[in-house]
Amino acid sequence: YRTRVGAELRQPLLRDRGTDAARLSVRVANADRQGATATLNRAVTETVAAVERAYWTLVASRQEVDVREEAVRLAEEQLGETRARMETGAAPKTEIAQPRAELERRRGELFASDEALARAENALKLLILGGVADPLWTQHIAPVEEAQLEVVPVDVSASLNRALANRPEITIASAVVNRRHAETAFARDGVWPSLDAVVSYDRFGLAGSANPGGSVGTLPSNLDGRFDKSFESLGRGDFNAVRAGLVLGLPILNRAARGNAAVARHVERQAEASVDKTRKTIQAEVLDAAAALETAGQRIEAAKTGREAAEVQLSAERDRYETGLSTNFLVLTRQNDLSRARLDEISALTDYRMARTEMARATGSLIEDRGIDVGGKAR
């Protein structure tokens, strides 16, 4: 009866020394986790940016409705004044046609702006509600924050640095590179021959009975017995063996491993190039956002000045009309000029707020600036 117990220590010296399948799995899992977290941050950022754009579109649409309603009111007043002049004989009957036609045209613009407002409200609801089945879907959204704000200068250099440090797209691309690094290291490791240092220790147990027809001799008492006697021998350590050596495995040609290593390195280079491309794309987005922000800020002051001038021109034209020095055409033209100036100011303010949102998105600071927690951790 034979029994054996032992231990072996094997240390790779070439293949599997730096990496193996188990360590590859750990590195890949870490890279995937890093990429998944960044992907979540990107999704939240894009959602917040879309909600803010939809909100400011709704604000602008509602303000446009106000402008169109005011334009209709002014046209109705002009039509009433013209009708009163006709009744007193101060104006011919043909004079009523122009303010009446202008009133209907402005009503058409009001209807179109009402439709645009409904579309803007639905677009925002789609982002913040679960769908048309949501109980809040039938409720109207009343914006509580207007587009009035203070124009601030843009630090382009700081914005670029912030974007390169915070954008989740870079983290996602870097996570892919980390995974490719691990896969390339594993594939390159497979090209090496295997050379392992092996140290082992074994303890043997032996027991039995003498063969009836065997050679003449006496069986030692410590070995004479059945199977359980073998365990006693094992426990006493009567028979021990220590071995140390090197085990070499040398594959012929090893073309498959070399091919896998070449493919892995090519894929790794592609991932590294993708990181560089992502950085350049992000830098371009920041520069575009900075230009849009600066332009929108300049437009705000210009639009405000234009609106104030249009108000003065309309007031002066109405004074001339009341004294008989102007016509319906000129008064209605000045009213249209004022409406366009008001819409231009609304557009400039809205574009500036959207440009602020886009700059925050481009620099990767949107969810942090808004105080949003992602996965229980504030960014």
State the fold for domain 2-193+250-378: Outer membrane efflux proteins (OEP) (1.20.1600)
Per-residue pLDDT band for 228 (boundaries 50, 70, 90) equals low
Query: How many other C-beta atoms lie within 10 A of the C-beta of residue 37?
Result: 17
- Judge whether residue 83 has pLDDT over 60: yes
pLDDT score of 147? 54
What are the backbone dihedrals phi and psi of residue 10, each rounded to the nearest 5 degrees, phi first? -125, 125
Per-residue pLDDT band for 97 (boundaries 50, 70, 90) equals very high
pLDDT score of 140? 87
- Judge whether residue 298 has pLDDT over 90: yes
Distance from the first to the final alpha carbon of the chain: 68
Mean pLDDT of 299-308: 95
- Judge whether residue 379 has pLDDT over 60: no
| DSSP structure string for 251-279 | -SS-HHHHHHHHHHHHHHHHHHHHHHHHH
Average pLDDT, the chain: 87
Question: Which of 6-10, 83-87, 349-353 holds the top average pLDDT?
Answer: 349-353
Tens of pLDDT, residue by residue over 42-71, are 999 999 999 999 999 999 999 999 999 999
Of the two residues 187 and 76, the one the predictor is more confident about is 76
Rounded Cα distance, 317 and 333, in Å: 10
Q: Is 131 exposed, middle or buried (0-12, 13-18, 19+ CB in 10 A)?
A: exposed
Distance between alpha carbon 54 and the CA centroid of its chain, in Å? Answer: 17
- Judge whether residue 373 has pLDDT over 90: no
Q: Which amino acid is at 370?
A: R
Helix (H, G, I), strand (E, B) or coil at 5: strand
Q: Please give the model's pTM, rounded to 2 decimal places.
A: 0.77
Tokens of 160: 């670029």
pLDDT score of 218? 63
Question: Which of 18-27, 81-90, 113-122, 221-230 holds the top average pLDDT?
Answer: 113-122
Tens of pLDDT, residue by residue over 192-211, are 777 778 888 888 877 766 66
Distances (CA, A) of 18 to 32, 100, 171, 255: 21, 86, 25, 21
List CB contacts of 252: < 8 A, sequence separation 6 or more: none
Tens of pLDDT, residue by residue over 327-367, are 999 999 999 999 999 999 999 999 999 999 999 999 999 99
pLDDT score of 148? 58
- Judge whether residue 307 has pLDDT over 60: yes
| DSSP structure string for 111-138 | HHHHHHHHHHHHHHHHHHSS-TTSGGGG
Q: Which of 26-35, 61-70, 323-332, 367-376 has the lowest mean pLDDT?
A: 367-376
Q: Percent of the chain at pLDDT above 90?
A: 52
Residue spans per domain, the chain:
2-193+250-378
